[in-house]
Every structure is written in structure tokens, then in C-alpha cells.
Structure 1
Amino acid sequence: MLNGLDIEGNSPLHRLPVRGKLILLFTTAILLLLISDLRILAPAMALAALLYLSTGIGLGEAFRRTRFVLFTVLLVALANYLFHSLHEALVVFCRLSALVLLAAAVTATTGISAFMDEITRLITPLERFGFVRAADVSLAVGLVIRFVPEIFARYGEIADAHRARGLRVRPLTVLVPLIILTLKDADTIAMAIDARGFRRH
């Protein structure tokens, strides 16, 4: 298994408390969704990229971690260009790219256990009213963050296996086995969680 997405460092974002990072991410997301001015969105995207690189992550690794999501953002922007306008496409691209890069910066500077502990503390008041179970929510978030790099690595392994056999790498031929293997892993993890009684505490 791979480690999580966090990397060691001493950047300002590393030193910021987890709650501060979550508040920063949440507040920025709301502001970006309310703004449609490219004179603000374009610099915001550039600032998010600089913040991400300031964590100490290499340029190649930074691109590898975000390329799939940014490609999806590009497709969404292209759809907006086809059905709306170039301005709308650029707004969507800058807005979503800034959010993706900022979220990547937060996950690169925060350990999984710290994420889970903070989410548990934030959701505990809702648990008292019976709306959610804080431990279950934090466990779900931790598992998602933990296995994102594992899924990316498996995607690369399947693509390499295709190339080794002389087969053309196509999204459908890679995604189908990737989904099947991911679902098998999910079943295994669920059984391990139940065997340890986490969801009964």
C-alpha cells in the first residue's frame, strides 16, 4: 500500500492548524463560486498553484496528482464553451482549477489522522442530535484520502500491463478493470472494519 497524500515540510500551510486549513478551503470555495470576474479568478488560480508548489512538492509530482481532476475540469470548461461562451468557459476553468489546486495543497500538508480527528470534533455536535455519527464520517473521509493515491497507482499498473501486451491504452479498457479491483478492495476493507467492530462502537 502507498502512503497518504501528505508530504513532510515546514511551509506556512504545513504550520497552519487543520481547522484553519478547512476554514480557508471552505471560505475560498464559497468566494470563488460567487465571483465571475476573470480579473480576480485568474490571479486566484495562479495563487492557488503557487501555494500548492510552496508545500515542497515537485512540479512533476504536483501535476501527476492533479492531472485527472484538471482534465475533468478542462472537459467541463469545454462544454461551457460549446454551449455558452468563451468567457463562461474561462470562468469555470479558473474557478474549478483554483479549488482543485487549493484542495491538493491542503491534503499535501495534512496527515490523514489529523483530518479524521478534526472532522470528528467538528461533527460531534451534530451527533448529539442524532443526525450523523461523527466516527463513521471521519472514517469515510480518511479512507477516501488514504486510497486516492492507491487508485491512481493501480490505474498506472493496468495501463502499463496493456502496453506490455502491445495493447492500446483506452479509457474504457482501463477503467473497467480499475473499477472491478476498486470494488473488491472496498469489500475487503468493509469486512475488515466490521471484523474490528469499528462501526459498532
Structure 2
Amino acid sequence: MLNGLDIEGDSPLHRLPVRGKLVLLFVAAIGLFLVSDLRLLVPALALCAALYLSTGIGLGNALRRTRLVLFTVLILAGANYLFHSLHEAVVVFCRLSALVLLAAAVTATTGISAFMDEITRLLTPLERFGFVRAADVSLAVGLVIRFVPEIFARYQDIADAHRARGLPVRPLTTLVPLIILTLKDADTIAMAIDARGFRRH
């Protein structure tokens, strides 16, 4: 399997504690969805992009990591343009793109184990009241982060296989095998987790 999404570096975001990053992401998400003024959203998008690039990830790698999500954001913005207005479409694009880039920056500067440890600590008070199992939630988050690059790699392999056979790369012909392979991996991992006794249920 591939390495995680985090990269080595010494940027301000690398030095920020994990809890601070999660709080920053949470506050930014709330703020972005409370604001509809493009005079604030456009600079926020530029700031998030600059913060993401400041991690030392490089422009090409940054685009590869976020292009699929940003393409989805672009589709949503297009739908808002068709059913609402140009202003609403630009607002949606700036809002969601800024959040995606900030989340990508946080992910690029934080190791999976650090994420899992911090989430476990944050959810431990809720576990005492029986609301959640902190270890299960942190494990789920860690697996999601861990498998993002693996899913991207599988998609690239499927697309390359199509090109090698002279077939056009279409969404339906690539997404269906990608979903099947991902579900198979999920079943394998779930069985491995249960076999090692990580979950009580």
C-alpha cells in the first residue's frame, strides 16, 4: 500500500498542534458557510490555497491530490448557476474550494497516528457517557485518510489499463471497477480488524 497523505516539512502548519489544526478547520468551516460576501470568500480561497502550497507539497502534487474533489465542487457550482444565479455559483465554488484546500493542507501536515490519537483524546469524555467508542471513531478516520491515496492509485491503474487496451476512459467504465475493488478491500480490512479484536461489536 501507499504512504499516507502527510508530507515532511517545517511550515507553520506543520508546527501547529493537531488539536489547533482541527479547531482551525472546524472554525473555518463554520465561518465559510456563514459568509456569502465574495469580498471575503475570494480572499479566503486565496489564503487557503497559499496555506496549502506553503506546506511544500508542490503545485503538481497539490493538484493531483485535490483535482477530483475540486471537479465535484465545480459540478455543484455549475448546478447552482443553472438553478439559481452566477453569484450563488461563485459563492458555492469559493466556499467549498477553500474548505477542500484547507482540509488538504491539514491532512498534508499531520500524520495518521497523530490524527487518531487526538481524536481519541477529544472523544474520550463522550465515551464515558456511552455515546461513542473513541477508539472505533479514530480508527475509522485513520482508515479513511490512509486509503485516499490508495483509491487514487487504483483509479490511475484502471485508467491506464483502459488506455493500454485502446478503450476510452469514461466515468462509468472506471468507477464501477474502482467501487468493486474498494469494497473488497473494505471487507478484507474489516475481517482483519475483527480477527485482531480491535472492536467489541
Q: Identify the residue that residue 4 of structure 1 maps to in structure 2.
A: 4
Q: Identify the residue that residue 64 of structure 1 maps to in structure 2.
A: 64
Q: Identify the residue that residue 26 of structure 1 maps to in structure 2.
A: 26
Q: Aligned-pair distance for 1:15?
A: 0.2
Q: Identify the residue that residue 118 of structure 2 maps to in structure 1.
A: 118
Distance in 1, Cα, partners of 2:177 & 2:32: 36
One-letter code aligned to 2:36: S
Question: Secondary structure at 2:7's aligned position in 1?
Answer: coil
One-letter code aligned to 2:110: T
Q: CA RMSD in A?
A: 0.8
Question: Secondary structure at 1:198's aligned position in 2?
Answer: coil
Q: Identify the residue that residue 99 of structure 1 maps to in structure 2.
A: 99
Q: Identify the residue that residue 139 of structure 1 maps to in structure 2.
A: 139
Q: Aligned-pair distance for 1:55?
A: 0.1
One-letter code aligned to 2:67: R
| TM-score, normalised with respect to structure 1 | 0.99
Gaps of 5+ in 2: none
One-letter code aligned to 1:9: G
Identity in percent: 88
Q: Aligned-pair distance for 1:200?
A: 2.7
Distance in 2, Cα, partners of 1:107 & 1:31: 20
How many residues were matched structurally? Answer: 201
Q: Aligned-pair distance for 1:175?
A: 0.4
Q: Find out whether 1:40 has 2:2 as its counterpart.
A: no
Distance in 1, Cα, partners of 2:92 & 2:175: 26
Q: Aligned-pair distance for 1:89?
A: 0.3
Q: Aligned-pair distance for 1:126?
A: 0.5
| TM-score, normalised with respect to structure 2 | 0.99
Distance in 1, Cα, partners of 2:87 & 2:183: 40
Question: Secondary structure at 2:199's aligned position in 1?
Answer: helix
Distance in 1, Cα, partners of 2:131 & 2:56: 39
One-letter code aligned to 2:16: L
Distance in 1, Cα, partners of 2:33 & 2:168: 39
Distance in 2, Cα, partners of 1:103 & 1:116: 16
Distance in 1, Cα, partners of 2:154 & 2:89: 32
4+ residue segments displaced more than 3 Å? none
CA deviations over 1:10-60 (Å, ceiling 9, x no partner): 000000000000000000000000000000000000000000000000100
Q: Identify the residue that residue 187 of structure 2 maps to in structure 1.
A: 187
